[in-house]
Amino acid sequence: MNFKLIASVSRSLLFARWKQTLIAAIGVTFGITMFIALLSFMGGLNGLLDSLIINRTPHIRLYKEVLPSDIQPVDLSAQYTNHYNFVNSIRPKNERPEIQNSFAVINALENDRRVLGVAPKVTAQVFYNVGLVNLTGLINGIDVDAENRLFAFSEYVTAGNFVDLKNIPNSIILGKAGAEKMMVEIGDVISVTNPRGDRIPLKVVGLFESGIQELDKVQSYASITTCQKILGESSGYITDLQIKLHDMTLAPEMAKEYSELFDTEAVDIQSANAQFDTGSSVRTLISYAVGVTLLIVAGFGIYNILNMMIYEKMDSIAILKATGFSGKDVNRIFIFIALTIGIFGGLLGLLFGFGASVLIDQIPFDTPALPHITTYPVSYNPKFYIIGGIFSLVTTYFAGYFPSQKASKIDPVIIIRGK
Amino acid sequence: MKILEAKNINKSFHDPITIQVLKEVTFSIEQGEFISVIGKSGCGKSTLLYILSTMDTDYEGDLIIDGVLMRNKKEAELARVRNEKIGFVFQFHYLLNEFSVLRNVMLPGIKLGKYSDQEVEHKAMEKLKILGIESEAKKKPNQLSGGQKQRVAIARALINDPLIIMADEPLVILTKKTANWSLTFSRSYLMSIISRCS
């Protein structure tokens, strides 16, 4: 009842100066539009950059580091247990960088409910033979299916079919930059030299682009069995286990747990890529700051217009008070006006913001670094829309709060006496 | 029955020097009584009216309206008293140009919330009819003549059937005929008018 009355009075005041109302609402609309467009674009970009690292990086990597033993023979001698033993120039013993009992470890990991999947890997240091020149290289022996499922391997294989790696024996996928350097194409056969000096011919079935050219020159992919063959190892020889979890945040503590359980080194994604997190959060912070600034500027616009309206409507406010409207009612009328501008301006802003995001999403964006990206990345995270909506209401409320306080304190006697 | 009582009302202005305008004003008004306050300009007629209307709360003494003491009442409560028990007619009409004539008359009625919007509208039309301006109900106040506006203002003062109508030189701009007619009309409705005539 009372609300209806306040709404109707507010509406009349709003439409009495509809041009100014419109300008105030456009201010809010523009602010929210830019806020949404900016955050969606930033969010998309962040997501893209994160996915570059996070999608391709295991949440936990288990590997064996060849390290000198912590316990030296002298420590085991009963004669010297109560002595300080100094041993200089300790060297690691000849040990293979292999994860012990790898089949059992994989089995145990796959039965762990927190684990999404495990992709085993064998790395091999080789030389690519180009005529008389040897180029250093690193071949990653991968389980093609697991690698694709967990780390989107197919996304960066730009030429050839990644499945051929599994189906064609003795095949290899080279980095595009590396292939150019060696002047080979798909279907050619290259030869590599393994650490023991044996030459092995491999057929090029595809090219990949990781986005980092130096990496592409050196690295290449082969199937696990091919890689084990290059190294002359048995089928149980695994150097890395790449684990992907359901919940990435568990990685640090699970890394510690696995390290003890399987007696290997374990590194989690958070410690391996700390600088990346920082970059993302700083970018997000900047875009929020810009968006919030836009909205505050729009808020000042509303503040000005309401202030002016109050000076113009001084008489009307006085008469409303004389005929029985309380200060609180007058206060509510002006808050209502401000919130109406905020709601309509904000809603339009959300719509236009969505439109702008869709538009940005259509703009072509070709970069050799990211072969699977064709348009600018945009995130349609509902969080941005919720924050934008809430923020438009909060700004307009505060923009209306001070003028409405002023209006509610108008003394009708002074206005009426002045006439 | 006493509708309004003023007991020892004192009022001073302090800026730039303290001047006491009202000294120990004491009187009472019966229901249906017609009272005119006369005095030379600057003697405090309007000041008294604003105090009696509860809009000015900065005074000493007691003001009793319809048996209720007005002192120490909150702003919202006083607004309610003005809405329910007091009708106002000012020297200047003070209509809201954003609303139609009918809506202007209805506003205090809707604010009171005693009747539904339809009933208030019906009552407002009746009041306009009494004052002979029902044909202007859909117009905006700025489309009316001065006398018509003042009649709308009178209709607005009547909408909640107040106990008291307070008027600050209301009839100055009305024609003599309308003025006489308005006064007769208010008597027949058993209301008190406090009118300031110069």
Q: Which range among A149-153, A201-205, A338-342, A367-371 shows the weakest confidence by mean pLDDT?
A: A367-371
From chain A, the residues in CB contact with B108 under 8 A are 323-324
Using CA coordinates, name the residue in chain B closest to A6.
Answer: B111
Average pLDDT estimate for A24-31 = 84
From chain A, the residues in CB contact with B58 under 8 A are none
Question: Looking at CA atoms only, how far is residue B99 from chain A in angstroms?
Answer: 7
What pLDDT score was predicted for residue B180?
60
Q: Is the pLDDT of residue B14 over 70?
A: yes
- Tokens 């374990």 correspond to A266
Mark yes or no for CB contact A323/B88 under 8 Å.
yes
Mark yes or no for CB contact B80/A419 under 8 Å.
no
Q: Cis bond leading into B16, ω under 30°? A: yes
Using CA coordinates, name the residue in chain B closest to A14.
Answer: B98
Average pLDDT estimate for B55-69 = 86
User: Where residue A358 falls among pLDDT bands split at 50, 70, 90?
Assistant: very high
| Alpha-carbon dihedral sign for residues A83, A84, A87, A88 | negative
Could you tell me which residues are beta bridge partners of residue B165? B87, B193
Q: How many CB atoms lie within 10 A of CB B28?
A: 12
Mark yes or no for CB contact B108/A324 under 8 Å.
yes
Average pLDDT, chain A: 85
What pLDDT score was predicted for residue B171?
58
Considering chain A, what percentage of its residues have pLDDT values greater than 70?
98
Question: Looking at CA atoms only, how far is residue B90 from chain A in angstroms?
Answer: 8
What pLDDT score was predicted for residue A411?
80
What pLDDT score was predicted for residue B198?
36
Question: Looking at CA atoms only, how far is residue B87 from chain A in angstroms?
Answer: 7
User: Where residue A293 falls among pLDDT bands split at 50, 70, 90?
Assistant: confident
Is B92 in the A-facing interface, judged by CB distances under 8 Å? yes
From chain B, the residues in CB contact with A312 under 8 A are none
From chain A, the residues in CB contact with B53 under 8 A are 322
Is B46 in the A-facing interface, judged by CB distances under 8 Å? yes
Domain ranges in chain B?
A: 2-197
| Nearest partner of A45 among A356, A372, A378, judged by Cα | A378
- Tens digit of each residue's pLDDT (9 = 90 or more) over A203-220: 999 998 887 788 888 999
Average pLDDT estimate for A87-107 = 84
From chain A, the residues in CB contact with B82 under 8 A are 322-324
Average pLDDT estimate for A139-146 = 90
Using CA coordinates, name the residue in chain B closest to A4.
Answer: B110
What is chain B written as a DSSP string?
-EEEEEEEEEEEE-SSS-EEEEEEEEEEEETT-EEEEE--TTSSHHHHHHHHTTS----EEEEEETTEE-TT--HHHHHHHHHHHEEEE-SS----TTS-HHHHHHHHHHHHTSS-HHHHHHHHHHHHHHTT-GGGTTS-GGGS-HHHHHHHHHHHHHTT--SEEEEESTTTTS-HHHHHHHHHHHHHTT-EEEEEE-
Mark yes or no for CB contact B88/A12 under 8 Å.
no
Dig out the tokens for A184 from the structure: 């080979």
From chain A, the residues in CB contact with B169 under 8 A are none
What pLDDT score was predicted for residue B196?
44
Task: Scan residues 260-319 of A and list those with Cβ closer than 8 Å to B.
Answer: 315-316, 318-319
User: Where residue B181 falls among pLDDT bands split at 50, 70, 90?
Assistant: low
What pLDDT score was predicted for residue A347?
92
Please check whether residue A18 is in contact with residue A341, taking contact to mean a CB–CB distance below 8 angstroms.
Answer: no
Question: Looking at CA atoms only, how far is residue B159 from chain A in angstroms?
Answer: 11
Most confidently predicted of A218-222, A267-271, B72-76, B90-94: A218-222
From chain B, the residues in CB contact with A412 under 8 A are 55
From chain B, the residues in CB contact with A13 under 8 A are 98
User: Where residue B191 falls among pLDDT bands split at 50, 70, 90?
Assistant: very low
From chain A, the residues in CB contact with B107 under 8 A are 5, 9, 320, 323
What pLDDT score was predicted for residue B182?
59
What pLDDT score was predicted for residue B185?
54
Mark yes or no for CB contact B111/A325 under 8 Å.
yes
Using CA coordinates, name the residue in chain B closest to A409.
Answer: B75
b/e sequence A154-170, b meaning 16+ C-beta within 10 Å: bbbbebbebebbbeeeb
Q: Is the pLDDT of residue B79 over 90?
A: no
What pLDDT score was predicted for residue B186?
54
- Tens digit of each residue's pLDDT (9 = 90 or more) over B112-140: 888 888 888 888 888 888 878 888 888 88
- The answer, as to whether pTM is greater than 0.80, is no
Question: Looking at CA atoms only, how far is residue A1 from chain B in angstroms?
Answer: 7
Q: Is the pLDDT of residue A272 over 80?
A: no
Using CA coordinates, name the residue in chain B closest to A329.
Answer: B76
Is A324 in the B-facing interface, judged by CB distances under 8 Å? yes
Mark yes or no for CB contact B55/A322 under 8 Å.
yes
From chain A, the residues in CB contact with B91 under 8 A are 419
Position B16, amino acid: P
Question: Looking at CA atoms only, how far is residue A31 from chain B in angstroms?
Answer: 30
Mark yes or no for CB contact B82/A316 under 8 Å.
no
Torsion of CA B170, B176, B178, B184, to 10 degrees: 80
What pLDDT score was predicted for residue A203?
92
C-alpha A107 chain-centroid distance:
31
Q: Which range among A18-32, A80-94, A227-241, B87-101 shows the weakest confidence by mean pLDDT?
A: B87-101
From chain A, the residues in CB contact with B118 under 8 A are none
Q: Is the pLDDT of residue A282 over 80?
A: yes
Q: Which of 3.40.47.10, 1.10.3720.10, 3.40.1000.10, 3.40.50.300 is the CATH number of B2-197?
A: 3.40.50.300
Average pLDDT estimate for B158-171 = 78
Mark yes or no for CB contact A326/B76 under 8 Å.
yes
Using CA coordinates, name the residue in chain A closest to B114.
Answer: A1
Q: What is the rounded CA–CA span in Å between residue B74 and residue B66?
A: 17
Most confidently predicted of A135-144, A211-220, A264-273: A135-144
Q: Which one of A319, A329, A410, A415 makes the best mutation probe of the B interface by having the most chain B beta carbons within 10 Å?
A: A319
User: Where residue A286 falls among pLDDT bands split at 50, 70, 90?
Assistant: confident
Of A16, A322, A327, the CB nearest to B75: A327
- Tens digit of each residue's pLDDT (9 = 90 or more) over B30-42: 877 777 777 777 7
Is A87 in the B-facing interface, judged by CB distances under 8 Å? no
Is A418 in the B-facing interface, judged by CB distances under 8 Å? no
Using CA coordinates, name the residue in chain A closest to B93.
Answer: A319
**A35 or B195: which leads in pLDDT:** A35
User: Where residue A47 falls among pLDDT bands split at 50, 70, 90?
Assistant: confident
From chain B, the residues in CB contact with A324 under 8 A are 79-80, 82-84, 108, 111-112
Q: What is the rounded CA–CA span in Å between residue A244 and residue A55?
A: 9
Average pLDDT, chain B: 79
Question: Looking at CA atoms only, how far is residue A395 from chain B in angstroms?
Answer: 27
Using CA coordinates, name the residue in chain B closest to A318.
Answer: B94
